[in-house]
Amino acid sequence: MKKCIVYYSKTGHTKNVVDKFNDFDVFVVSAESDDPNNDHPVLTNIPDILTYDHIIFACPVHGFQMSKIMRAYMIGLKDLNHKVIDLFVTHLFRFSFLGGNQTLKQMTRIIKARGGHVRYQTSINRRSKNSNDVMIEIIKKYSK
């Protein structure tokens, strides 16, 4: 099975989680500007994931929602049928209902609209005492 992680990370926290995964090709989504308020980011790196069977999408929560750069990338995807898809998001807020859950729902809606199905999804609170344990758990779970 061909596996990849596609992520966007403004501050490096999401990248830190991605860096802990082994045996995945890793692609970063980038734009001309990292401004989280830009409603129409111009993407400068658009990973081609057509040949991958297992895809992990990861991004930070920005303003209680999915980062606009990752949203622009995912909206541009054509077909996610027959793919194993997992998601994780990173956030600073103590509770997932303050943006983490909303972001995962937004990502799931985009994936479903492209024929995909989400297997696992996780919201990682970067300030939580157990965030390292959560990272270890998702790496084990998502790597199967």
d(CA 144, CA 130): 22
Instruction: Give kind and range of the element (H or E) at residue 114.
Output: none
Give the H/E segment covering residue 50.
none
Predicted local distance difference test score (pLDDT) of residue 22: 94
Pairwise CA distance, residues 132 & 130, whole Å: 5
Task: Please count the structural domains in the chain.
Answer: 1
Higher pLDDT, 1 or 96: 1
Tell me what pLDDT residue 99 has: 63
pLDDT over 80 at 78, yes or no: yes
Q: Is the pLDDT of residue 54 over 70?
A: yes
113: domain CATH number is 3.40.50.360
Cα-Cα-Cα-Cα dihedral sign, residues 53, 81, 86, 39: positive
The answer to whether the CB of 27 falls within 8 A of the CB of 4 is yes
Name every residue whose Cβ is closer than 8 Å to that of residue 19 and which is 6 or more positions away in sequence. Answer: none
The model's confidence at residue 67, banded by pLDDT at 50, 70 and 90, is very high
* pLDDT (0 to 100) of residue 98: 57
Residue 84, domain extent = 3-142
pLDDT in tens, 86-140: 999 998 665 555 568 899 999 999 999 999 999 999 999 877 778 889 899 999 9
DSSP 14: H
User: What 8-state DSSP symbol labels residue 133?
Assistant: H
